[in-house]
Structure 1
Amino acid sequence: MADWNGPDLEKIAAAEELDLASERSNGTLREAVTMWVVRSGDQLYVRSVKGADGPWYRGTQSRHRGRIQAGGVHRDVTFHPAGPDEYRGVDAAYREKYGHFPSIVEHVLTDRARASTLRLEPR
């Protein structure tokens, strides 16, 4: 598991949104999608409201690689499925960071969304 450097971790975690572009099988990047990002411990996570059926999520599954941009940081990353033992911390991070959007945040706290939790690791 690759570690984030402190300043990049802080900047990305503080950003309201993250732009994520996944790699196609030929190595080119798909169009970036804007989404929420949270920090749990020293890791960064994203989830698909539509779960594994979400188009952007499906795009991450071909090469498990892509590029993110948030908080002025641009990084190439790998996408790793989070395990169920990580869901509780990620849920709490979503509630804390985005709880001021109560009718929206609940959509990333469903079992369907949890199953699509990806840990972002720098490469």
Structure 2
Amino acid sequence: MTAWTPAQLDTIERVDEIGISSLRKDGTLNTPRTIWAVRDGDDVYIRSVNGPAAAWYRGTRSRHKGHLQAPGVDADVTFTDVDGAINDRVDAAYRAKYRRYAASIIDAITGPPAAETTMRLDAQ
């Protein structure tokens, strides 16, 4: 595992949206999906606002590898499932970063279906 650089973390924290692609069986990447990401210390977390039924999320399940794109950030990643107490911190990070959006959107990304899809992105 390679750590995120400070510049990459700052960018991910600053931008509203990132692109995420999962790795297919044949080694190619799926089309990037635009999602939200949050930072907690030196870690990056993502969730599926539509819960585990979202196609992009299902694509992460078999290989747990993919790619992140953001302005100035182009990194292969590993998707690591997390749960427990970290979810409270991820909820707080989503609320703080995206607070200018409608409450219904924030409620969706911090609600139980989304929380069960919480993944840490580890740079490779």
Is structure 2 residue 72 aligned with structure 1 residue 72?
yes
Shift of 1:2: 4.0
1:100 is matched with: 100
Where structure 2 has 5 or more consecutive residues not aligned to the other structure, the ranges are none
Asked whether the 8 Å contact 1:14–1:71 carries over to 2, the reply is no
Shift of 1:12: 1.5
2:27 is matched with: 27
TM-score by length of 1: 0.94
Residue 87 of structure 2 aligns to a residue whose secondary structure is: helix
The total of aligned residue pairs comes to: 123
| Structure 2 CA distance for aligned equivalents of residues 2 and 73 of structure 1 | 14
Residue 84 of structure 1 aligns to a residue whose secondary structure is: coil
| Structure 1 CA distance for aligned equivalents of residues 12 and 74 of structure 2 | 9
Q: How does 1:33-72 map to 2 (within 5 A)?
A: 33-72=33-72
Where structure 1 has 5 or more consecutive residues not aligned to the other structure, the ranges are none
Residue 13 of structure 1 aligns to a residue whose secondary structure is: helix
Asked whether the 8 Å contact 1:47–1:117 carries over to 2, the reply is yes
Q: Percent identity?
A: 42
| Structure 2 CA distance for aligned equivalents of residues 12 and 45 of structure 1 | 10
- Deviation by residue 1:35-71 (Cα, 9 ceiling, x = unmatched): 1111112110110112111111000112100111113
2:85 is matched with: 85
| Structure 2 CA distance for aligned equivalents of residues 51 and 23 of structure 1 | 19
2:114 is matched with: 113
Residue 34 of structure 1 aligns to a residue whose secondary structure is: strand
Shift of 1:103: 2.3
| Structure 2 CA distance for aligned equivalents of residues 40 and 106 of structure 1 | 19
